[in-house]
Amino acid sequence: MIDDRDRKILDILQENASVGVSDLANRVNLSISACSRRIQRLEEEGYIQRRVALVDRPLAGLPTTMFVIIRTARHSAEWLEQFRAAISDIPEIVEVHRMTGTIDYILKLVLPRVEAYDEIYKSLVEKVEFFDISASVSMETLKSTTAVPTHYIK
């Protein structure tokens, strides 16, 4: 059972996973040991999947974001397996979503510059057959977060 303190712990950890347990306990009005037990339980129950560091993309030489829209004429398990294998080998592809509607897949890429997309494009079309593939460059990021709302957790 998740309560308001658990939600607050999750909210704080989503903002900064490196916050110390004593600071976190103080912010949610718990003892350090009680807070630590709650964090451990949230991890064991799968609410906290892992803790990661978010790298500053421009400092890492990856200031460009592109979205690739894919339509395929094939929807077989074999095609999907080929596609999964092709995208898994390309670290610049950071997200892939299967969609409803007229678009089959959207890929999010992080790149050092727009021209770097050509190599990724060539790699994909060499490994997988597509009906249509197009790309758009993000001009500006208006919102970007890794945090999810916790008020839906029952």
Domain range list for the chain: 4-44, 64-137
| Burial degree of 48 (CB within 10 A; 0-12, 13-18, 19+) | middle
Question: What's the farthest any 2 CA atoms get from each other in the chain?
Answer: 58
Q: What is the value of pTM for the model shown?
A: 0.89
pLDDT of residue 20: 96
pLDDT of residue 55: 96
pLDDT of residue 53: 93
pLDDT of residue 14: 97
For residue 67, the cross-strand partners are 108, 136
CATH number of this structure's domain 4-44: 1.10.10.10
pLDDT of residue 86: 97
- CATH, domain 64-137, list 1.50.10.10, 3.30.70.920, 3.40.50.40, 3.30.160.250: 3.30.70.920
Which of 43, 5, 48, 44 is CA-nearest to residue 24?
5
pLDDT of residue 88: 96
Token pair recorded at residue 120: 């990724």
**Whole-angstrom distance, CA of residue 44 vs CA of residue 111:** 35
pLDDT of residue 137: 98
Low-confidence ranges of the chain (pLDDT < 50): none
pLDDT of residue 65: 98
